[in-house]
Amino acid sequence: MPTLDGKRAAVACIHIPNFMWQVESLRRPDQAGKPAIIVGETGANAGKGAQSVLDWSPDLGTKFTRGMPLSEALADARKDVTLLEPDIPLYRRTFGEVLTSLEARCPDVEPDTESAESYGLGRAYVGIWGLDRLYGDDAQVVRALSNAVNQFDARIGVGENKWLAYIAASASSSGRGLKITGEPGRFLAKLPVELLPIDFKLVTRLHGFGLHTMGDIAALPPGAMQAQFGNDGTLVSDLSNGIDHRPLVSRRTEETVSEYLEFPDATASMAMILPAIESLLFRAYTRPQLARRYAREAKLEASVLRRSPWTMRVAFKEPAGSRTKALFSIKSKLDDLALPGPIEDMRLTLSGLTGEAGMQESLWTEVRRDQKLQEAVSQLEARLGTTPPVYQVRELEPWSRIPERRHALVQLSP
Amino acid sequence: MVPNPGTKARARAIKPLNAPAPVTVSADERGTPLSVSYGNRANEVAAIEDMWKINDEWWRGPDKEIDRVYFHARLADGRPVTLFHDLAVDEWFRQ
């Protein structure tokens, strides 16, 4: 990855292993040091009730993988292991704070969203080329990054590209950085193929062909790998040779306004929840960031008593510039939803902030009005499951001397 | 329990607007309404503001002939009402 000034690029990878568990142990100090597995629904099993492993404490060893069925994990786990319910909104918020803290040191920060099984949490890449003038050498840069995540047990690696930086971070020890220089192939040669970011089935196939280390793969011509494994073969061959063309894409920061409150007692009553939302909206709309501005989306997050947190996202059809408009949309969505249980607190986040006050009106207002009406009837039909009793007045014989024959109500057909 | 009538919801039927509703009218010997009763309440007619006659479709036979005398009246409480006397069946309607 060459840079504009012709030098080789340097990318740092900040890897926080077992990130979810680390957040949990910060939140619950009594759990720190005890074996624990964080369990939830993930991937294709989401919503089907099948529980699988999301994260675990490091003292349980390396025999677990993310997405592993809980039953399988419990068969391998110690008897004193604690099962924890995930708090994904908290993990996301905490990781967002980590990214912001890294951005304060280096502007180019990219969260690794490819690690989908861990919700894209716990790993980030930082472009550190050109920072030696600010911090000194690479070691000083690594120290600055390490300070940004000092509340976590983080591993930091530096390499020419994202892949090498990740491998360096995986191989480094706690609190120390590792930099891969010279020929990356020699460093990678002894590493097992399990470290490659590929499907578990492909790993098994590689073993079947006698390819146990990255050195085994690098020794083969890329064409042979491609012929046998297709696109995955090319990827595996490139990575085993230390080649990674993926660019570093900095995170898009989004301005949001967030407000939070706690209920005196856990409640599932809308009579309590709606005034709470109204109060949060009032506080949010009186913030200077929202003065004469509009929000396009609202997100509600709540901790549910003895259950996983609840999240609801409301996209406003038209940007909401006041709490009454925002509340109307949120209420409409809440009417169709059932809360999973009594909630203990609530966080409201308004995002998609815009200064656009005007709305684009249609030149053909009649056509637009008819379209809106047809859309409303279609939505009603979908909700009721039958033709809604919506009529329009039609002229039949307006010239007739008999009044009841002049007009009639006819079914409105979209 | 209300039995299922077995009929479909008639959402798609055409519903005539301004259909006549039967009322009870007391009239003088010339057929001019004096009071009209609807909604369990008798209303005295204060004035007849207009009157006209419709005789139509006589060619369809005595059963389907339309023969009405219309009165646009004002009630004692000030409300306007349009009544007609259906001469074919000798009944009063409000429209």
Of A38-52, A130-144, A332-346, where does mean pLDDT reach its minimum? A38-52
Is the pLDDT at B95 greater than 80? The verdict is: yes
Secondary structure of A122-172 in HEC code, one letter for each residue: CEEEEECCCCHHHHCCHHHHHHHHHHHCCCCCCEEEEECCHHHHHHHHHHC
Q: What is the pLDDT of residue A4?
A: 41
Which residues of B are less than 8 Å from A392 in CB distance? none
Q: How far apart are CA A26 and CA A87, in angstroms?
A: 13
Banded model confidence at residue B1, pLDDT cuts 50, 70, 90 = low
Name the residue facing A391 among B15, B19, B20 (closest C-beta).
Answer: B15
> Is B8 near chain A, with CB under 8 Å?
no
Contact call for B15 and A393, based on CB within 8 A: no
Beta strands, E only, A235-360: 257-267, 295-302, 310-320, 343-351
Q: How far apart are CA A19 and CA A90, in angstroms?
A: 12
Q: What is the pLDDT of residue A1?
A: 47
Which residues of B are less than 8 Å from A399 in CB distance? none
Residue B78's alpha-carbon distances to B32, B33, B43, B45, B73, in angstroms, are 18, 16, 10, 9, 10
Name the residue facing A409 among B17, B56, B95 (closest C-beta).
Answer: B17
Q: What is the pLDDT of residue B12?
A: 56
Q: How far apart are CA A56 and CA A35, in angstroms?
A: 8
Q: In 3D, which of A12, A30, A32, A13 has the Cα closest to residue A22? A: A32
Looking at every residue in chain A, the average pLDDT score rounds to 84
Banded model confidence at residue A6, pLDDT cuts 50, 70, 90 = very low
pLDDT tens per residue, range A363-381: 777 777 778 888 888 888 8
Q: What is the pLDDT of residue A8?
A: 58
Q: What is the pLDDT of residue A117?
A: 52
Q: What amino acid occupies position A250?
A: S
> Is B76 near chain A, with CB under 8 Å?
no
For residue B1, count other CB atoms closer than 10 A to its CB. Answer: 3
Q: What is the pLDDT of residue A313?
A: 92
Interface list for chain A against chain B, based on CB atoms closer than 8 Å: 386-389, 391, 393, 401-411
pLDDT tens per residue, range A207-223: 999 999 999 999 999 99
Q: How far is A411 from chain B (nearest CA, A)?
A: 5
Is the pLDDT at B9 greater than 60? The verdict is: no
SS3 A227: helix
Domains in chain A: boundaries: 187-240, 257-351, 365-411
pLDDT tens per residue, range B43-92: 999 999 999 999 988 888 888 889 999 999 999 999 999 999 999 899 99
Banded model confidence at residue A108, pLDDT cuts 50, 70, 90 = confident
Contact call for B11 and A387, based on CB within 8 A: yes
pLDDT tens per residue, range B13-37: 678 888 899 999 999 988 999 999 9
CATH class of A257-351: alpha beta
> Is B15 near chain A, with CB under 8 Å?
yes
Q: What is the pLDDT of residue A32?
A: 76
Question: Nearest chain B Cα to A408, which residue?
Answer: B16
The full DSSP string for A48-73 is TT--EEEEE-GGG-S---TT-BHHHH
Q: In 3D, which of B59, B55, B58 has the Cα closest to residue B84? A: B55
Q: What is the pLDDT of residue A51?
A: 81
Q: How far apart are CA B58 and CA B65, in angstroms?
A: 5
Contact call for B20 and A404, based on CB within 8 A: yes
Residues A11 and A158: beta-carbon distance below 8 Å: yes
Is the pLDDT at A91 greater than 70? The verdict is: yes
Residue A407's alpha-carbon distances to A206, A398, B75, B92, in angstroms, are 78, 7, 26, 22
pTM for the predicted model, two decimal places: 0.59
Q: Which fold has domain A187-240?
A: DNA polymerase; domain 1 (1.10.150)
Q: How far is A387 from chain B (nearest CA, A)?
A: 7
Question: Nearest chain B Cα to A412, which residue?
Answer: B12
Which residues of B are less than 8 Å from A389 in CB distance? 9, 11
Name the residue facing A393 among B17, B20, B95 (closest C-beta).
Answer: B17
Arithmetic mean of pLDDT, A76-90 = 82
Q: In 3D, which of A174, A155, A182, A175 has the Cα closest to residue A166? A: A155
Q: What is the ipTM of this complex?
A: 0.79
pLDDT tens per residue, range A163-186: 899 888 888 887 677 887 777 777
Arithmetic mean of pLDDT, A91-120 = 81
Is the pLDDT at A5 greater than 50? The verdict is: no
Looking at mean pLDDT, say which of A217-231, A304-318, A361-375, A394-408 comes out highest: A217-231
Name the residue facing B12 among A401, A403, A411 (closest C-beta).
Answer: A411
Measured in whole angstroms, the distance separating CA A374 from the mean position of its chain's CA atoms is 36
Identify the residue with better confidence: B8 or A257. A257
Residues of B numbered 53-72 whose beta carbons fall under 8 angstroms of chain A's beta carbons: which are they?
54, 56, 66
pLDDT tens per residue, range A144-168: 888 888 888 889 988 888 889 988 8
Is the pLDDT at A233 greater than 60? The verdict is: yes
Looking at mean pLDDT, say which of A38-47, A55-64, A114-123 comes out highest: A55-64
Banded model confidence at residue A3, pLDDT cuts 50, 70, 90 = very low
pLDDT tens per residue, range A272-287: 899 999 999 999 999 9
